[in-house]
């Protein structure tokens, strides 16, 4: 019974009525051809994922609103917590492995561990977050997820 109701709704045109009409008054969008930029190259250089030339960040981790070279709108990008998760996982494996190795080989006091690993974690996180965030933005652009608002 429900299937018949929903198919009747779609047949009558109820689904089409929910779609916003295209406005002919909008200016045409000019699309320039850009060479394909590999996401890894854009991520490591922290450059625009479309043109590979414009800088991606204005500060340490603040993304520019738009690329200064090609004009790609970056204001709606959302890398979320992804870069932090990958940095934590990688640094965690590295530091735990090295700390265990140092503890087994040399058995230093706790303050030596603090002097060794705290700066490594802090500097490693700062160094890794920019390319990881740029990489996620480049992958979002590559898979056409940059600036979309719906999950589909």
Does the pLDDT of residue 98 top 70, yes or no?
yes
- Check the CA dihedral 136-141-142-148 and report its sign: positive
In the structure encoding, which two tokens stand for residue 82, read together?
């992804």
* Position with higher pLDDT, 95 vs 31: 95
**Number of domains present in the structure of the chain:** 1
84 domain residue, yes or no: yes
Does the pLDDT of residue 12 top 70, yes or no?
no
Domain coverage including residue 41: 34-142
19 domain residue, yes or no: no
23 domain residue, yes or no: no
15 domain residue, yes or no: no
Lowest-confidence range among 13-22, 53-62, 71-80, 138-147? 13-22
Over residues 24-83, the pLDDT tens digits come to: 555 554 556 778 899 999 999 999 999 999 999 999 999 999 999 999 999 988 889 999
Are the C-beta atoms of residues 47 and 138 closer than 8 Å to each other? no
Burial class (CB in 10 A: 0-12, 13-18, 19+), 49: buried
118 domain residue, yes or no: yes
Q: Which residues contact 80 (CB under 8 A, 6 or more apart)?
A: 136
8 domain residue, yes or no: no
Does the pLDDT of residue 11 top 90, yes or no?
no
């Amino acid at each position: 019974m429900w299937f018949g109701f929903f198919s009747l709704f779609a047949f009558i045109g109820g689904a089409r009525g929910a779609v916003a009409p295209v406005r002919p008054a909008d200016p045409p969008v000019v699309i320039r051809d850009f060479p394909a930029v590999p996401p890894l190259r854009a991520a490591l250089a922290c450059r625009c994922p479309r043109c590979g030339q414009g800088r991606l960040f204005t500060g340490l981790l603040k993304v520019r609103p738009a690329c200064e070279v090609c004009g790609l709108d970056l204001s709606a990008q959302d890398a979320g917590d992804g870069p932090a998760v990958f940095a934590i996982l990688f640094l965690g494996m590295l530091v735990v492995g090295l700390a265990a190795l140092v503890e087994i080989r040399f058995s230093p006091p706790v303050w030596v561990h603090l002097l060794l690993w705290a700066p490594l974690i802090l500097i490693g996180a700062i160094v890794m977050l920019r390319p990881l965030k740029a990489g996620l933005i480049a992958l979002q652009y590559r898979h056409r997820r940059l600036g979309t608002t719906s999950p589909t």
